Amino acid sequence: MLFRQIINEDLGCASYIVGDPESGVAAVIDPQWDISPYLEAAASRGMRIGHILETHTHADHVSGRGRLHQATGARMHVSPLAGAAFPHDALPDGAIVDLGQVRLEAIHLPGHRPEHTGMLVVDASRGDDPWAVLTGDSLFVGDVGRPDLAVDAEEGARDQYTSIGRLMALPDWVEVYPGHIGGSLCGSTAISAKTSSTIGYERAHSPLLRDIDAGAFTAELIARLAVKPPDLDRVVGMNNGPLITPTAPAPALEGAEFLRRAEAGGLVIDGRSSAAFAAAHVPRSLSVPTAGSGFATRAALVAGRDDQLLLVGSDEVQARDMAERLAAVGRREVIGVLAGGFSAYLDEGLPTSAIQRVRAVDLPDLLSDQPDILVVDVRDHSEYIAFHIPGSVNRPYWAFRDGPGDIPTGRSLAVICAAGKRSGLAASALAREGRGPIIHVDNGGVQTLEAMGIPMERPGN
C-alpha cells in the first residue's frame, strides 16, 4: 500500500496520502495549502487521487482541498456535523472510503471540534484489523487537542475525554498518526515533535491518559490552554465555505515604491534573520524570521486583520516563500514583495533603521551598568508566572497586535523571551510604536540566565 506522511514544518501540520497500488486509487487526508507533495507521491506510484478527506474544519491553516479538487477532480468527504458549504460526501461515524484492498473507516472523535473524525486505516491484504489510526487533532504524540476552538472549553474537554477513551479501546499495536506535531497552537507545549506513536505507548506514557478521571482530565486540559490560532473565525469560515484557489502573485516593487507604500500604511514584515534585521531594516518593519518553524503563525498573530502586507527577504525568492506561507494561514493581503531583496534596497541608498542586540549571557552586565533599563518579558503569561527576572514586566509577543499596552515611553527596554525569536518580533513592534531605545536580547533568554545562576522571581513559591 501507499502510505506517506507530509509535514508542514512551518505550521507543524501533518497530512497523509493513503492508497492501494493494485486499484491505483489514493486518498489525501487533511491536505495542506501546498498540494505538490500529494500530486508527486501519487504520480511516482502511477496512482490517481480519487478522494479528499477532512478530519475537521481547521482553525490554524487554510486547507488545500480546493486546489487539490481542482487539480484531480477527487471526491471530497467531511462529517455532516461540519455544515460544509462545498460539494461533499457525508462522512458519519462508521463510514467507509474504499480504495480497494485498503480502506479508511471513519471514527467520530468530537472534542477538538464537534465534527472531528479520525480515520482507521485497514489493509485487507494483511487482515481486517486496523493497523493505524489517523487521529487528526484528537490525540497527538504526548498530548491531546485543545477543546476551546468551537465550543465552550469545558464542554469540549468532556467530549475529548470520551473520544480519547474510544481511541484507548484500540489494540496497543495500532499506530498513531496525528494531525499536528510540536509547535502547533492546536494543542499545548506538551505536543511532541515526534511524528508518530502507538496506542499502547501513549496509554502508558502520556500524562493525560494514565488512570485519570473525567474531572481531572477536563481541569488539566483547560489549564493548558494558551493563545488561540490567529484569525480563527476567518480561517474556519474559509475552510467551511466555497472552495479556495490561489490569488495572483503580489508584484515585485523597487525599493522607492516599496518604501512609499510602507509610508502610506502598509505593514512591512521582514523574514531575514534577527541579526540581519537588527543591523538594518526598512523603517517600522516587523521582524519575523522564516528560519525554523512558526513564521506564518507568528506573523498572523501580530499583523492586524486589515493590514496590507509588504514582504522583505534576503532575496526575492525568500519573500515569495513568505507569501505562500502566509496564504496557508489565510493571510492573502500581500500587496508587494521587495524586488531584489534587502541588498537591492540598500543599493538604492534608501533610509534604514537599526536595533541594538545583545546576547542573553551579556544582559546581567548591561543591567548592572544601566540599572534604569526595563526588562520586557514577552513569553506567554504562564511561562512568566512560573519564573521571571525580578522587576521585569510581561506582555506576550502576540499581544502587540493591539499595541504596546502600558509599556512606558522614554525608557530603554530590554526585550527578552526564551530563545530570542519572540523577543525579536516584540522588539521590532515596540520600535515601530516609537518606544525605546530598544535592546533585543538574543541567543538565549530567561532560561539561559537561570542556568547561569541569576536569581529568578517565582510567584508560586
Does 456 reside within a domain?
no
Q: What is the mean pLDDT of residues 165-194?
A: 95
Displacement of CA 43 from its chain's centroid (Å): 29
Query: Are 321 and 368 within one domain?
Result: no
Is the pLDDT confidence value at 460 over 70? Answer: no
Displacement of CA 383 from its chain's centroid (Å): 19
Which of 291, 323, 347 lies at the terminal end of a domain, its last residue? Answer: 347
- Residue pair 336/251 in contact by the 8 Å Cβ criterion: yes
- Taking CA atoms, 442 is separated from 175, 330, 410, in Å, by 40, 30, 22
- Taking CA atoms, 106 is separated from 31, 109, 149, in Å, by 17, 9, 22
Does 135 reside within a domain?
yes
Residue 289: all three cell numbers together: 524570521
pLDDT of residue 246: 76
Query: Are 189 and 89 within one domain?
Result: yes
Domain with 429 in it: what CATH number? Answer: 3.40.250.10
Is the pLDDT confidence value at 76 over 90? Answer: yes
Does 459 reside within a domain?
no
Does 461 reside within a domain?
no
Does 65 reside within a domain?
yes
Is the pLDDT confidence value at 461 over 80? Answer: no
Does 101 reside within a domain?
yes
Displacement of CA 161 from its chain's centroid (Å): 24
Range in 10-14, 95-99, 242-246 the model is least confident about:
242-246
Query: Are 157 and 227 within one domain?
Result: yes
Domain with 137 in it: what CATH number? Answer: 3.60.15.10
pLDDT band with cut points at 50, 70 and 90 for residue 210: confident
Is the pLDDT confidence value at 211 over 80? Answer: no
pLDDT of residue 459: 85
Q: What is the mean pLDDT of residues 213-234?
A: 92
User: How far apart (Å, rounded) are the C-alpha atoms in residues 34 and 38?
Assistant: 9
Query: Are 384 and 435 within one domain?
Result: yes
Query: Are 363 and 227 within one domain?
Result: no
Query: Are 213 and 326 within one domain?
Result: no
Q: Which pLDDT tens digit goes with each residue over 309-366?
A: 999 999 999 999 999 999 999 999 999 999 999 999 999 999 999 999 999 999 999 9
Nearest to residue 257, comparing CAs of 246, 268, 247?
268
pLDDT of residue 205: 93
Helix (H) or strand (E) holding 185: none
Q: Which pLDDT tens digit goes with each residue over 13-54?
A: 999 999 999 999 999 999 999 999 999 999 999 999 999 999
Q: What is the mean pLDDT of residues 233-245?
A: 90
CB atoms within 10 A of CB 327: 20
DSSP label at residue 388 = B
Burial 134-152 (b: 16+ CB within 10 A, else e): bbbbbbbbbbbbbbbbbbe
207 or 361, which is more confident: 361
Which of 210, 239, 268 lies at the terminal end of a domain, its last residue? Answer: 239
pLDDT band with cut points at 50, 70 and 90 for residue 242: confident
Q: Which domain holds residue 298?
A: 252-347
Query: Are 182 and 228 within one domain?
Result: yes
CB atoms within 10 A of CB 94: 9
pLDDT band with cut points at 50, 70 and 90 for residue 245: confident
- Ordered alpha helix ranges (H), 187-315: 199-205, 214-223, 232-240, 255-263, 274-279, 295-302
Does 246 reside within a domain?
no
Is the pLDDT confidence value at 430 over 80? Answer: yes
Dihedral sign (CA 147, 150, 154, 157): negative
- Residue pair 376/393 in contact by the 8 Å Cβ criterion: yes
Which of 314, 347, 380 lies at the terminal end of a domain, its last residue? Answer: 347
The length of the chain is 461
Residue 407: all three cell numbers together: 509599556
Nearest to residue 364, comparing CAs of 288, 454, 237?
454
Query: Are 206 and 337 within one domain?
Result: no
Cis peptide upstream of residue 21 (ω within 30 degrees of 0): no
Is the pLDDT confidence value at 454 over 90? Answer: yes
What pTM does this model have? 0.93
What is Dmax (Cα atoms) for the chain?
A: 73
pLDDT band with cut points at 50, 70 and 90 for residue 254: very high
Is the pLDDT confidence value at 305 over 90? Answer: no
The domain tally of the chain equals: 3
Query: Are 224 and 283 within one domain?
Result: no
Query: Are 221 and 188 within one domain?
Result: yes
Does 365 reside within a domain?
yes
User: How far apart (Å, rounded) are the C-alpha atoms in residues 94 and 119?
Assistant: 10
Query: Are 361 and 343 within one domain?
Result: no
Query: Are 185 and 273 within one domain?
Result: no
- For the chain, what is the total number of helices (H) and then of strands (E)? 15, 24
